[in-house]
Amino acid sequence: MTNLERLLKYVAIKTPSDENNDQVHPSSEVQFNLAKVLKEEMQELGLFDVYLDDTCYLYGKLPATKGLETKTPIGFIAHMDTVSTHVEAEINPLITKNYDGGELSLSDSGLVLSPKDFPHLPSLKGRTLITSDGHTILGVDDKAGIAEILTMIERLQKENIPHGPISVAFTPDEEIGTGAHGFDVKRFGAKYAYTLDGDTEGEIQYENFNACKAIFNVKGFDVHPGSSKDTMINAALVAMEINSLLPGCETPRGTEGYEGFYHLDGMSGNVGSATISYIVRDHDAHTFDARKKTLKLIEKNLNEKWGEGCVTLTIKDQYRNMSEIIADCMQLIENAKEAATKAGITPIISPIRGGTDGATLSFMGLPCPNLGTGGHAYHGPYEHTTVEGMDAATDMAIELVQLDF
């Protein structure tokens, strides 16, 4: 099968993870629907030791070609889940051949994929563009990565390309930050690995955010508004006050590159009680700690203002910047750059403004940078990729497994 055929097959199987069930693997049973399909395909491709565990982690191995059995084992990883938003309707991919690089209406959704919003689109002119119909996500994140890994495996064998031992794994729940928590590094059997979970083909990433989730629970004092002078504490207003105490320019919209942020991603409540939640991100460990201290200071000051117990802050760390691990094995990055060049792709070294399974895996003893898949505009109905971008990502992976680590 081609990358396109695989992608169309996989995105038809909806696999949203469930953030409200993040203590269980998998967080949603539907992820098994894709895992079972992939397990069968891996077996058909001749992988051995193919194993799907009861928490939806799927593993397999491709033995080295004759004479290369002692090469360093290298692994490739992608995640099976998608975000849980924009998945209510059936996913209907649209294929636009010879895309003109301009505005494209996404079926009858009323949405338009436009260079005004996505300046990279003209660079895709002439390619075969794959989008959703605008009513759902497409699922490129990360089903493109899955397709590219298995297409690589198929081509290595059909084209008799020499390579060392290769490990493959597909994980659940990456989108809710727990995708590597149940990963069996020993079973995986590789010394180093790469996630295929990035954007533009040729992208090589080994610096990610330090990340946490912060939730403020506010307890109000609800009395009749007609007789509440100096008595009422409106929890919803206190929640608004919390947000007003954070720097207004340090949001995802106002930051780029290595700049961190506070992202308000949920709020609810009334006079009696309210909840306001954030995800907090920063590449620099010291600045990240300072951000958490700012949140704790807000909790302290508002409790002094409104009364002890009015505001309760819960901070949950999610992942750390893998760069401190990759610093000791930079051959992973140099090899990725060489592989991109050999595949005719310009290497793009960029920080991840997010996280991947590789961040956690690196701290579990499996150094694991991230590579681009050719996808763009993840997590929404504008998500898209191209056949050429996916094929280029596969070409790069094929070049990578032929190098010495």
| Cβ pair 399, 342 in contact under 8 A | yes
Rounded to whole angstroms, the Cα distance separating 400 from 330 reads: 14
Neighbour-count burial for 58-78, b at 16+ CB within 10 Å, e otherwise: bbbbbebbeeeeebebbbbbb
Residue 274, H or E segment: strand 273-282
Residue 166, H or E segment: strand 166-171
Q: Is 81 assigned a catalytic role?
A: yes
Residue 254, SS3 per DSSP: helix
Q: Is 259 assigned a catalytic role?
A: no
Among 81, 142, 154, 207, which one carries the catalytic annotation?
81
How far does the chain reach from its first CA to its final CA, in angstroms? 29
Structure tokens at 38: 């992939």
Among 141, 174, 175, 391, which one carries the catalytic annotation?
174
Rounded to whole angstroms, the Cα distance separating 204 from 350 reads: 7
Measured torsion, CA atoms of residues 243, 292, 221, 273, in degrees rounded to the nearest 10: 70
Backbone φ/ψ region at 354: left (φ over 0), alpha (ψ -120 to 50), beta: left
State the catalytic residues. 81, 174
